Amino acid sequence: MGLFGCKKEIWLVVGLGNCEDKYARTRHNSGFSAVDALAAKLGLTFNRKKCASLLAEGRHGDKKLVLAKPQTYMNASGTAVSGLVSFYKVPLDHVVVICDDVDLLEGALRIREKGGPGTHNGMRDVVLCLGGEGFPRVRIGVGTPPPGWDLADYVLGNFTSDMSAVFDAAADAALCLVDEGAAKAQQKFNRKG
């Protein structure tokens, strides 16, 4: 039947970002960086394309995981995410979205079981295309722009410090959401920068 042909529990973990190489190390690509860290932890490779996304598929315990990096650019992420949800028949509460957040201090993590998109246009498109807010998310703090900076220029700028430990923690938080639920993930990972 194939890896996803049987009826085991399935989870979709999506990192939001922009698909061109020039955006790879930017604040706005924190979601991509976190799912890359998660793929590395699980020994998975992004080697498949489906629903305008790069995918890494595999198992985690008794669960099946699909890790995704939408290739639609940030503000149109919802099209890719809703396509994947439909294709894999993933319940909304089994969709984990990881993204950057300018309303959090750099390095902070916030796990939420559900909720609105805040000021994030990519998350807004995901909520719109999924038709609801009932999916868990991991927000990675990237700090607020200095006075006089344009928000787009700031989020499309590179980090000035090494964020690899934060991306690793975000990957662990996503796995904790999958394994233990939102309350436990919040207890373990919600922290200040």
Contact 66, 84 (CB under 8 A): yes
Please tell me whether residue 139 adopts helix, strand or coil conformation.
strand
120 noted as active-site residue:
no
Tokens of 40: 């590395």
Residues 6+ apart with CB under 8 A from 87: 50, 51
Distances (CA, A) of 97 to 20, 22, 115, 164: 20, 22, 12, 18
Fill in the DSSP letter of residue 149.
-
Tell me which residue of 157, 156, 142, 137 sits closest to 107, measured CA to CA.
Answer: 142
- Other Cβ atoms closer than 10 A to 180: 12
Residues 6+ apart with CB under 8 A from 121: 74, 75
Instruction: Please provide residue 48's backbone torsions phi and psi, each rounded to the nearest 5 degrees.
Output: -135, 150
Q: Which of 28, 60, 94, 120 is catalytic?
A: 28
Catalytic residue numbers, as ranges: 28
